[in-house]
């Protein structure tokens, strides 16, 4: 989804509350987007240049926060769009952060581990002037992880000749990372599911779930959902999908994925393709891989009763109206996948205070934060009609209030 399409949801939210037009205009474009050419010395001695970006969308609520993705399709428009969503996400779960996103256009499968490390350190050198615990705090995203963050924070500390663990989150626990960060996105999505069960109009018991994508977040979500009595009937990845109407064994599915490299290694289930999975007759469809997979065509043809978005932007803005007409409720990404940034916030707090929280403390606070956010959406939904619009109204209201309370001289061209 493009930034222009993402802004349509902002404008739709603005129609539901009394917010000055200048506030909406201020949020229609990022405050700062930087681009860089990142040189990397390859293992064979050649020098290759990669395109990299960092977009800081808004810092009205606090320092900007957002992941860094390494993917061939990363572009400037994509990082700006993702930074916009991060701004909305941090606001909807009431974090003292603004939104940001970064990335590099690269296929990491074509690089060695040493080349990826050089690339990660090169990204830090390119964007070091904007990074810091009180200005911009990156985190992992697609094809990056704790090791990538370890390289990055190490490079920043070399450049500044001091320790700055709070400048990055999603680090290994041994380097200041938070316990519970690895499963936070999936766990947060599960809390959203259980808290919004009624709003999604799901059966009281044995609701069936299809997972379009089976990465780390979907694995954690599926395990918790299964334990709660939900039935995982389908899952997929880039190699294909599987279906069993009686329910998949999530532990066996995870083992099959880890040992065979794909969910299709799971034995005893029917194989289906990703398009067929999107059209399965199930109670809940959980897109958890790529953006834009539910377009107008899929929205008209899908048979799922509700959607919970773990991926960023899996439902296009054009599909939104079709889903509303069909009565298919959507738990939006800016709420449903916010568990990762919530626990990143906990990591940032721990780094800045020198404290270390137990896993129980992290998970309890994550549940409280997600429940509070879901309850706020439930109240707004009574007047705006859908969970997605409710989420954007809550976020916009908080952003607009903060902009108003700090005055207009800074944000609207001076006095």
Cα–Cα distance between 91 and 125 in angstroms, integer? 29
The angle formed by the CA atoms of residues 181, 38 and 78, to the nearest 5 degrees, is: 60
Q: Exposed e or buried b for every residue in 141-180, given b needs 16+ CB within 10 A?
A: bbbbebebbbbbbbbbbeeeeeebbbbbbbbeeeebbbbb
Distance of CA 162 to the CA centre of its chain: 30
Cα of first residue to Cα of last residue in the chain, in angstroms, is 36
Cα–Cα distance between 332 and 68 in angstroms, integer? 21
DSSP 8-state class, residue 177: P
Cα–Cα distance between 45 and 9 in angstroms, integer? 48
For the annotated catalytic residues, the residue numbers are 101
Question: If DSSP codes are grouped into helix, strand and coil, which group holds residue 75?
Answer: coil
- Read off the tokens for 60: 């009205």
DSSP string, 104-139: EE--GGGS-HHHHHHHHHHHHHHHGGG-BTTTEEEE
Q: Which of 171, 167, 162, 100 is nearest to 132 (CA)?
A: 167
- Read off the tokens for 400: 């607009």
Cα–Cα distance between 263 and 257 in angstroms, integer? 5
């Amino acid at each position: 989804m493009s930034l222009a399409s993402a802004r349509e949801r902002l404008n739709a939210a603005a129609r539901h509350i009394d917010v000055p037009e200048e506030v909406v205009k201020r949020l229609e474009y990022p405050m700062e987007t930087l681009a860089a050419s990142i040189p990397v010395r390859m293992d064979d001695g050649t020098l290759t240049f990669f395109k990299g970006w960092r977009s800081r969308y808004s810092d009205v609520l606090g320092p900007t926060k957002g992941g860094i993705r390494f993917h061939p399709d990363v572009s400037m428009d994509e990082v700006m769009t993702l930074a916009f969503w991060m701004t909305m996400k941090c606001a909807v779960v009431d974090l003292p952060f603004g939104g940001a996103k970064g990335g590099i256009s690269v296929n990491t499968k074509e690089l060695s581990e040493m080349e990826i490390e050089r690339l990660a350190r090169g990204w830090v050198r390119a964007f070091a002037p904007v990074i810091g615990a009180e200005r911009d705090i990156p985190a992992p995203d697609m094809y990056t992880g704790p090791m990538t963050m370890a390289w990055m924070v190490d490079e920043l500390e070399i450049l500044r000749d001091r320790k700055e663990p709070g400048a990055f989150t999603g680090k290994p626990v041994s380097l200041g990372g938070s316990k519970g960060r690895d499963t936070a996105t999936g766990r947060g999505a599960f809390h959203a599911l259980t808290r919004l069960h009624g709003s999604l109009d799901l059966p009281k018991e044995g609701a069936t779930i299809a997972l379009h994508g089976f990465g780390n977040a979907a694995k954690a979500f599926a395990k918790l959902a299964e334990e709660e009595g939900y039935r995982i009937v389908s899952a997929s990845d880039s190699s294909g999908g599987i279906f069993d109407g009686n329910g998949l064994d999530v532990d066996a599915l995870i083992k099959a994925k880890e040992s065979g490299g794909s969910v299709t290694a799971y034995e005893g289930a029917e194989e289906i393709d990703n398009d067929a999975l999107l059209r399965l007759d199930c109670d809940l469809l959980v897109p958890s891989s790529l953006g834009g997979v539910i377009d107008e065509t899929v929205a008209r043809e899908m048979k799922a009763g509700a959607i919970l978005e773990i991926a960023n932007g899996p439902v296009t803005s054009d599909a939104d109206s079709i889903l509303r007409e069909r009565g298919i409720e959507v738990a939006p990404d800016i709420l449903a996948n916010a568990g990762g940034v919530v626990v990143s916030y906990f990591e940032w707090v721990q780094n800045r205070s020198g404290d270390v929280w137990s896993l129980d403390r992290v998970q309890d606070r994550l549940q409280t934060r997600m429940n509070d956010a879901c309850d706020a959406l439930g109240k707004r939904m009574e007047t705006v009609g859908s969970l997605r619009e409710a989420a954007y109204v809550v976020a916009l209201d908080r952003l607009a209030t903060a902009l108003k309370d700090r005055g207009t001289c800074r944000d609207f061209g001076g006095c």
